[in-house]
Chains A and B, each alone.
Chain A
Amino acid sequence: DAKTTQPPSMDCAEGRAANLPCNHSTISGNEYVYWYRQIHSQGPQYIIHGLKNNETNEMASLIITEDRKSSTLILPHATLRDTAVYYCIVRVVVTNDYKLSFGAGTTVTVRA
């Protein structure tokens, strides 16, 4: 699976949009971009994933650049409960290797 690069930390004001960047310059055509988050000492929570089109669900939006070398997770109205470590993962899904490879992630702190 391609490696990803994320900033180690970022702060966000409550009620504002949080934009989390992720670089995956070696991504290949059959690799999806997945985002998970992990609130302290809990299991990772799935947020969203996409291949090349932008995606939106009730939690977040995922914007993938046209060349697919980077993406941005957008939390539209951050709340204190969004404070967590956010992981960007690229993953081949048509394969016999189903593991997720987690990096260090971005520690997001939402401040009141």
Chain B
Amino acid sequence: KAGVTQTPRYLIKTRGQQVTLSCSPISGHRSVSWYQQTPGQGLQFLFEYFSETQRNKGNFPGRFSGRQFSNSRSEMNVSTLELGDSALYLCASSLVGRETQYFGPGTRLLVL
């Protein structure tokens, strides 16, 4: 089976812009979670989707949003980018959420 894929792998944006990141889960997996990783804060949970519904949400401002499509693919959007949003954004998938999560390679976002 193919693993979790994320696009793009690298992205450079400027402050105030918005960005959309994409995640394709492992075939058959219906739960998709997003995490942000920065050197200072480590890995932090953003949100989790299942059957096109957000089930869990971490402590991030409303500028961070996501959605999931009927084929389980997910996107996350960050609006009005700030310098502090520079991070590695990771997506993880699992069958329905409670099982082992498998991570993608991540999208590295740099905000200038």
Contact = CB atoms under 8 A, between A and B. Distances in A.
Contacts, number: 57
B75 interface: no
A103 interface: yes
A99 B55 CA distance: 10
B106 A42 contact: yes
B101 A43 contact: no
Nearest to B46: A99
Contact of B105 (A43, A49, A99, A102): A43
A104 interface: yes
A112 interface: no
Contacts of A43: 4, 90, 92, 103-106
B57 to A, nearest CB: 9
Interface residues of A, number: 22
A100 interface: yes
A41 B35 CA distance: 14
Interface residues of B, number: 26
A36 B92 CA distance: 12
A45 B83 CA distance: 28
Contacts of B94: 98
B33 A34 contact: no
B56 interface: yes
A94 to B, nearest CB: 7
13 contacts: A42-B105, A43-B105, A44-B43, A44-B90, A45-B103, A46-B100, A93-B99, A94-B98, A95-B98, A98-B101, A100-B35, A100-B45, A104-B42
